[in-house]
Amino acid sequence: MKVSIAQLDIERGDPETNLDRIGKSAAEAAAQGAELLCLPEMATTGFDWERNRELLKACGQHHQQLSEIARTHRIALCGSYLEEAPSGKAANTLIYHDATGLERARYRKMHLFTLFREHEHVEAGDSIVTADLGAFKAGFAICYDLRFPELFRRNMEAGAALQILPAAFPHPRLEHWRTLLRARAIENQCFFIGVNQCGFERHGASVGQTRYFGHSMVIDPWGEILAEAGEEAVVLTFDLDLDLVERVRKKMPSLVDRRPDLYGKRACGQAD
């Protein structure tokens, strides 16, 4: 399968500009023969907490525009966007549109980044989501979820051969990003796509700005890096040899050798 990643500089609170960049990235990826384009976290609006309520009014329209981009360029889209949850609150939600523009999966960010006070502005999801992407199944997660390996193990147990993670990782945590992405791929023996924002997000004089480091990556089931961006906006296209997942799992049967029957037991010597 041929897949593209679009490492974007997201304009905070400017969905028109961001949707235009997504459309241009989809056109470029489709011209390179890609079947799927993966986008960063909050790709339509950025993290404009103060304007969440205002932006929520138009998020349904933004999702429809994403559907139209997918249908126009005949390419599936996967990214994280602002969404109004059933409760009426804001959510940070991954949506997978297939190449006809139909929505096939929706995952709400489960682990909210308290250091960024995300929990004060969006509602956490409570469901693990995987989806069939034609010849294989993918598991979904968003940014801070990367630090919680249990989620990716559950995705793998549900049959995921690929894990997709839109993100907005800033400096100075580049080595955390690179290490954790490879670890999640190795321990679950799957392909892993981490798509990060790049550029600066300006929060105003009182807060300053955040610098995102990019370095979007594609990692194979051995933990080898197949593609890695720098810090600039870019579209990268690559081939995934999906048969490699099965070959790796047969050669290194660590998933078969797990002992889930023991993992819930008390540690030796632990007091009652």
So which residues are the catalytic ones? 41, 109, 143
Q: Which residue has the tokens 């998020």?
A: 59
Q: Determine the Cα–Cα distance for residues 29 and 73; give it in Å rounded to an integer.
A: 9
Q: Determine the Cα–Cα distance for residues 169 and 214; give it in Å rounded to an integer.
A: 8
Can the peptide bond before residue 15 be classed as cis, meaning omega within 30 degrees of 0? no
Taking residue 142's Cβ as centre, other Cβ atoms within 10 Å add up to 27
Q: Determine the Cα–Cα distance for residues 220 and 53; give it in Å rounded to an integer.
A: 40
CA angle 257, 262, 265 (to 5 degrees): 160
Are 170 and 207 in contact, with CB atoms under 8 Å apart?
no
